[in-house]
Chains A and B, each alone.
Chain A
């Protein structure tokens, strides 16, 4: 790979990195796992003057999971592969669905959750998954720390609320509020033409079941718009209703018009909408089975 010339810096702490990035100017870029930035540099589609490598900042790679199940904290530099193997992923299968299906083994061993969220690629896997839960991004910048809700963090394609020099420190995901006896289940399915490429479409579903009734639900689509799309119409079709074939199909059908996909080599816009519908249906079914305590292994659809 032959990128254009750039200066390489190694930060000892996130605070130092933030200062460096601010001082080096807007053509400086932070380097986490490099799974988006490095290919762009290789193709000379990105030409940063400076790279500030975060890989040597200590203490940013962890998955902390309180036993009461309420909260999971991801260090920004936690690799996808570590998340896939974590106890949190065993407890919340939707995390495993996502982490274990990102790219291929090499990508999962290098790529980080913080980098993925900060990149805000329209086809990224993490954002739709995290959005189905209550997720906050803890940021650190030249002006100090702040916490931004993920739904306010992603502003547009490749655009986040991060200010100049600002970096992601931690991602905090919480289960939505629920009563005792209510059970939560989630699932994420992406359809990808092959392992290494971004999804053609993806669907993330989180259900809160009270008995057979869907008390609360969040449904997000990935890769079919500039940002992850919450399909509230699909959620409304389920909320407060028993999960039956009819209600699930109604919800899936409502998801059809949720996205605004662009045609490309992955598929036509019409197909992506149809695909999203199918994925929503499957994700609801799996999330429901998981909420009922079933172990369900999910594999992405490869085609």
Chain B
């Protein structure tokens, strides 16, 4: 930053709008059904794609015959995986060898690696014609043994990718402090043989959609797509398709949710682009069906925690944890193996434990590839830590609240450096626990639960403490692969006065329902002292706006920090230009100028002379009426600002460094009763307390907390991407996947705390992922309900069925989730 920008950044103008529940600008069009989603684009001459997909989880493609499909009515082109492979380079692998040797093409080439993997793309004049023709494709498969368990995959009995020769993608040892010393001094050592975090996904209202147009005349590719991290996607697509990155144009407008899952839809973008080129540059559209989305978009990471040992002192304070974590990334790594480091952003969770030794490995399996599902990689680890806390607490007879209080990092220790060098910016977990306990009525529940248990009822109360680390340092990718060309984090924004003086904001972010237009307008309104309605924020993302950076996108809980810092910086730059320009126009001293709204709209006023000039006058002077402007008055009123988060490249050898800028926290409490006859777990009370630093827009934050809570409760009790042993997905429709609905939702009591971040200009922290707090919380409450029956909650997904099996003798032998207490 220049000295001048720093000065401007320190005087953010008024603070009237930031912090208010300003009504969302986006609502007007979305509630009227006037949102513009990718499928709403109707381009002249559009062709439609239907993918032929594998019914097998693992098989060799013996033969593929698409002649009949090619000759079917309305068909423009049919591309097989083998044909596509000749037209592209395989996608970049982020990881080093052995995972780096995996060949990932947009479609299956000679083998299929998961059920639903596309083997051919049928492109036709209508989607109906494409679907009819796709039924005529004949593919002969030779079935191969499917590997659906990551631990089994690591034995390499059946190898998915011959090019790498192993199912191991990445492994590393994360060791900090003196683990052996802590165990030798421990008062208690508690062992947990196996914990398992299940595979689930997000169910955005809008599935993946791509329109691609490869214009041969100038070799430009135009994408309309709901990918949520396009800056990254185009870095994958450019080398794969063999075009310069500036030849790839990407646009989105409204997006119906992503939750990270849409980050990895770029293979489909590639196929649509190739199909467009094959059809003379006609636009090619692919609208994913729900079954395709469930089967072959992306799922969240599944993780198994093995041989966990926990050292505690006599007071129940955890002094060391060692464990082996095996992550399952499905058939192709794609965004992985970044998840092998991202969990380490929250290595000790909310706890003070100093000594940790985690062996982390990741395997490919014959299942849908994973994508960064909301709470990505951190929630699995945080769930693990919460199970450790609860199991240890129960073993030692220390209540859940007290066990946590004894182990929490204290607010007085903030900013707190974790054993692996991450810096927790601020927070007060004990205070959040107090708020949550008050809201749920902890003490009353304790007596009600005791009474209910005397009547033989299965009822429990549980706490989940979790972190939502936001604004990630891409330098952590170098811990995975020292040659990875990524570090830091940035976002770009542009604030300008248009020719008629309108304030127009463009951002590099990719909103999917988070209200970026609204919160950006709040920030600009405060800088320029105008009303947010006077600030026009362009919806969606567009590479041609030229504001984005290589990190641009909406992921990793960061907009309130990266996006709004960029907007703030750009607005401050514009303000500084306006000030210089107004000083010239009004013949005034800059110190006497005041920004505000006059009778003719937004204006700058000279407090000495009382004269003012409105934004139209100022824009006019620069853009269309500029004769006589002094040559040294170098203003454009078109100000781009790039926010760069203050990161360093981590120490790769020690796996040490600050991996994330802000740490929002969630503390949830649930009371759950298990029906003794139906075994159905019912949530009787639920509290969600959130701390995301300074809140920019309370209504938007509240909405995201409720959404994340619903997602987490769904994951804990309903949503499960389960596969059978042959690799068939058993939940390929909503009838089996059971996304949570209003009928299944309990009433949520909401509370919040504001611990401003010292690391963001506005004190805000990124939020929205919620750290999967409900998964931890529901498991904790179930554990409390079931402890006296001798059951340990070992899986993140629990249903009436799994509770039944755990409680019956049968379940003790065969139960996959909960297990008997030894």
A residues with a Cβ closer than 8 A to B are 2, 4-5, 43-44, 191, 193-198, 264-268, 270-271, 274-275, 277-279, 281-282, 301-303
Contact = CB atoms under 8 A, between A and B. Distances in A.
Top 7 A-B residue pairs of the complex, sorted by shortest distance between their CB atoms? A278-B677, A303-B680, A265-B736, A267-B801, A271-B801, A278-B678, A271-B804
A282 B675 CA distance: 12
Contact of B804 (A198, A265, A270, A302): A270
Contacts of A196: 734-735, 741
Contacts of B804: 267-268, 270-271, 274
Instruction: Count chain B CB atoms within 10 A of each CB in A44, A264, A270, A281 and give the residue with the most.
Output: A270
B235 to A, nearest CB: 34
Contacts of A43: 291, 733
Nearest to A42: B289
B799 A267 contact: yes
A4 B801 contact: no
B112 to A, nearest CB: 20
A265 B720 contact: yes
Contact of B743 (A4, A194, A274): A194
A207 B404 CA distance: 53
Contacts of A281: 677
B515 to A, nearest CB: 28
Instruction: Count chain A CB atoms within 10 A of each CB in B718, B743, B805 and give the residue with the most.
Output: B743
B731 interface: yes
A193 B738 contact: yes
A271 B730 contact: no
Interface stretch (B125-133, B267-275, B486-494): B125-133
Nearest to A201: B678
A279 B800 CA distance: 14
A195 B740 CA distance: 10
A44 to B, nearest CB: 7
Nearest to A282: B677
Contacts of A193: 718, 738
Contacts of B810: 270
A262 to B, nearest CB: 12
B718 A279 contact: no
Given A197-B738, A302-B743, A265 B731 contact: yes
Instruction: Count chain B CB atoms within 10 A of each CB in A2, A191, A195 and give the residue with the most.
Output: A2
Given A44-B131, A193-B738, A197-B735, A303 B291 contact: no
B808 interface: yes
Contact of B741 (A44, A194, A303): A194
Given A2-B131, A274-B804, A275-B679, A302 B744 contact: yes
A301 B743 CA distance: 11
B808 A2 contact: no
A172 B800 CA distance: 37
B799 A303 contact: yes
Nearest to A303: B680
Interface string B798-813: 0111001100101000
A226 B206 CA distance: 36
B195 to A, nearest CB: 22
Contact of A44 (B135, B800, B808): B135
B531 interface: no
A44 B730 CA distance: 18
B722 interface: yes
A2 B801 contact: no
Contacts of B682: 303
Contacts of A2: 127-128, 131
B741 A191 contact: no
12 contacts: A4-B131, A5-B128, A44-B135, A191-B680, A193-B718, A193-B738, A195-B743, A197-B736, A265-B720, A266-B801, A278-B678, A303-B678
B681 interface: yes
B730 A303 contact: no
Contacts of B678: 191, 275, 278-279, 301, 303
Nearest to B718: A193
B738 A194 contact: yes
B800 A271 contact: yes
Nearest to A279: B678
A105 B737 CA distance: 20
Given A43-B291, A198-B735, A4 B135 contact: yes
B135 A271 contact: no
A236 to B, nearest CB: 22
A12 B233 CA distance: 55
Given A44-B135, A302-B743, A267 B128 contact: no
B736 A303 contact: no
Contacts of A282: 677
Contact of B730 (A5, A265, A267, A270): A265
A271 B811 CA distance: 10
A280 B383 CA distance: 37
Given A191-B800, A196-B735, A303-B682, 15 more contacts: A4-B135, A43-B291, A264-B736, A268-B801, A270-B808, A270-B810, A271-B679, A271-B805, A274-B804, A274-B808, A275-B678, A275-B679, A277-B677, A278-B675, A301-B680
A268 B131 CA distance: 35
Instruction: Count chain A CB atoms within 10 A of each CB in B132, B677, B733, B736 and give the residue with the most.
Output: B677
A193 B718 CA distance: 8
A262 B731 CA distance: 16
Interface string B704-720: 00000000000001101
Nearest to B291: A43
B697 to A, nearest CB: 31
Contacts of B135: 4, 44
Contacts of B731: 265
B730 to A, nearest CB: 5
Contacts of B733: 43
Contacts of A277: 677
A266 B731 CA distance: 10
A53 B693 CA distance: 59
B458 to A, nearest CB: 14
A170 to B, nearest CB: 30
Contacts of B738: 193-194, 197, 265
A233 to B, nearest CB: 19
A198 B128 CA distance: 29
Contacts of B799: 267, 303
A195 B128 CA distance: 31
A252 to B, nearest CB: 9
Contacts of A278: 675, 677-678
Nearest to B814: A268
Contacts of B675: 278, 301
Nearest to B717: A303
Contacts of B720: 265
Contacts of A266: 736, 801
A197 B736 CA distance: 8
Given A281-B677, A301-B680, A194 B744 contact: yes
Interface string B254-279: 00000000000000000000000000
Nearest to B803: A271
A271 B731 CA distance: 19
Contacts of A194: 718, 738, 740-741, 743-744
Contacts of A270: 804-805, 808, 810
B387 to A, nearest CB: 23
A303 B681 contact: yes
Given A194-B743, A197-B738, A5 B805 contact: no
A8 B678 CA distance: 45
Instruction: Count chain A CB atoms within 10 A of each CB in B128, B800, B805 and give the residue with the most.
Output: B800
A196 B741 CA distance: 10
B702 to A, nearest CB: 25
B74 to A, nearest CB: 12
Given A265-B722, A271-B679, A277-B677, A303 B128 contact: no
B736 A5 contact: no
Nearest to A274: B804
Instruction: Count chain A CB atoms within 10 A of each CB in B135, B733, B738 and give the residue with the most.
Output: B738
Contacts of B743: 194-195, 302
